[in-house]
Each structure stands twice: as structure tokens, then as C-alpha cells.
Amino acid sequence: NAGVTQTPKFQVLKTGQSMTLQCAQDMNHNSMYWYRQDPGMGLRLIYYSASEGTTDKGEVPNGYNVSRLNKREFSLRLESAAPSQTSVYFCASSRNTFDGVKTDTQYFGPGTRLTVL
Amino acid sequence: DQQVKQNSPSLSVQEGRISILNCDYTNSMFDYFLWYKKYPAEGPTFLISISSIKDKNEDGRFTVFLNKSAKHLSLHIVPSQPGDSAVYFCAANPYNTDKLIFGTGTRLQVFP
């Protein structure tokens, strides 16, 4: 099992350019997440998908769109990149079947380092 | 408003001694707490968790303590090893969602 994979690993964009970050998981997980990590800020949730066909905003959704293409794949799109979107982006997935006592955790991909000039 | 706080950005500990990482939270709706470990250029990996119905959970060298009245949890690593050098994130899960709220992280350095 590869777990959670992300492409690309690195990307440099100019202000105003668009791009899509790809994420896939092979653990048959229901939920998927996109985070960004900035120095001194921890990980902040951008969007998440509780199940195939559903998406919802997280803490910092402005400037981003997402697509839950199927159960395996969850993509993050920047329509018009801005320097403030320079960050490391992490995708995560979790089983998310709550049956009384929580034991679930999120599994993270290796990240995409994005620089917007 | 930071709901999960890790007030120590860094911690330096000698190999073999105990490392104690702290985390405070403000939201009473959190009922599940996790610690993640992150090496440079890698994604965070799950380390240990604790439900709000417990006050302690142990897994090998790692123990997490939860003090609900103080809204405080801590991660103890005994004995610390150089391979433990990483950034540690505390995370909390509200009872009615599957989202996680992360702290800002503590960088642990274990020196020989």
C-alpha cells in the first residue's frame, strides 16, 4: 500500500497562474482533507470531504476549490495563485466510521511545497 | 483565536532523559486528542491518541496524559532518543465532527 500520495512534490508559480494539486489514497478511507502548513501556524484545514460526493470548507478556504473525484482522489485547485498561498500543502485521509469510541486518525501524504512569485 | 496551543516552540533534551511536551486547549467540545510527529520534508505521522474518557494512554516509550479540568494534555517520551528529534503537533477533535484542530507544534531536539 502506498498510503496517501501527492503530486507534484514541488511547484513554482507566478502570481495569477492556476494549478491543481493531486491527492490519492489506497486505504479505502471515507474522509479526505487538505491542509496548509505555514511557519508558526501549525496545520490549518482548507477543505475536507467526509465522503465521496461531499465537500466542506475548513478554516482557510478562500482562494481554493476542491473536487472529490471518487473515493480515492481529492484534488485542490488554485484558480489564481497569490504570494500568500506560498506554503506546504498536505493531503490526509481517515476511515471516519464512528461506532462509539473514537479510535480514528488521519494519515498524511508527503506534502507539496508551493512557491508563488 | 487559537483553540489548541503549544506554548513552547522548541525543547532540547539529553538522550536518555524524559521529554515532556505540553498542549493546552480552550474548547470543551473536544473529546479526542492526538499527537503527531513530523520530520522535515515528510508528512505528519500519527503517534498516540487519547479519548476524553481516559486520563492516560501509554504506548511503549510514549505516554499521553489528559487533565480535562485544566484543559491540558502532555506527551511524555521516556527515554528520549536522537531519532525522536522532530516537530510534534498536538491535535484535538470536537465530538460532533471528524475535523482536527492542530497546535502550532513544538520542535524537539534530543542531543547525545
In Å, the largest CA–CA distance within chain A is 48
- CB spacing of B99 vs A102 below 8 angstroms: no
**Dist CA B77 CA B15 (whole Å):** 11
pLDDT by residue (tens digit) across B85-109? 999 999 999 887 778 999 999 999 9
How near does any CA of chain A get to the CA of B81, in Å? 24
What is the distance between the alpha carbons of residues B69 and B97, in angstroms, rounded to a whole number? Answer: 22
- The yes-or-no verdict on residue B83 having pLDDT over 90 is yes
Q: Do A42 and B99 touch (CB under 8 A)?
A: no
CA B21/CA B29 separation, integer angstroms: 22
Across residues A4-10, what is the average pLDDT?
Answer: 96
Chain A positions touching B105 (Cβ under 8 A) are: 42
Better-scored residue on pLDDT, B61 or B99: B61
Max CA pair span of chain B: 44
Mark out chain B residues that contact chain A at CB-CB < 8 A. 4, 6, 9, 31-32, 34, 36, 41-46, 49, 51, 53, 89, 93, 98-100, 102-105
Compute CA distances B22 → B11, B65, B89, whole Å.
Answer: 10, 10, 10
Q: CB atoms < 10 A from the CB of B38, how many? A: 21
Q: Which of B41, B40, B30, B38 is nearest to B4 (CA)?
A: B30
Checking if the pLDDT of B36 tops 70, the result is yes
Tens digits of per-residue pLDDT, A57-113? 999 999 999 999 899 999 999 999 999 999 999 999 998 766 555 667 899 999 999
For the cut 90, the answer to whether the pLDDT of residue B62 exceeds it is yes
What would the grid cell of residue B70 be? Answer: 485544566
Mutate to test the interface with A, among B2, B38, B100, B107 (most CBs of A within 10 A): B100
Q: From the list A92, A101, A111, which residue is nearest B51 (CB)?
A: A101
Torsion B67-B68-B73-B78 (CA) sign = positive
- Does residue A30 carry a pLDDT above 80? yes
Mean pLDDT for B42-68 is 96
Q: Would the CB atoms of B98 and A90 count as touching at under 8 Å?
A: no
**A95-110 pLDDT, tens per residue?**
876 655 566 789 999 9
Show which residues on chain A lie within 8 Å of chain B, measured between beta carbons: 4, 31, 33, 35, 40-45, 48, 50, 58, 90, 92, 94, 96, 98, 101-111
Mean pLDDT of all residues in A6-27: 96
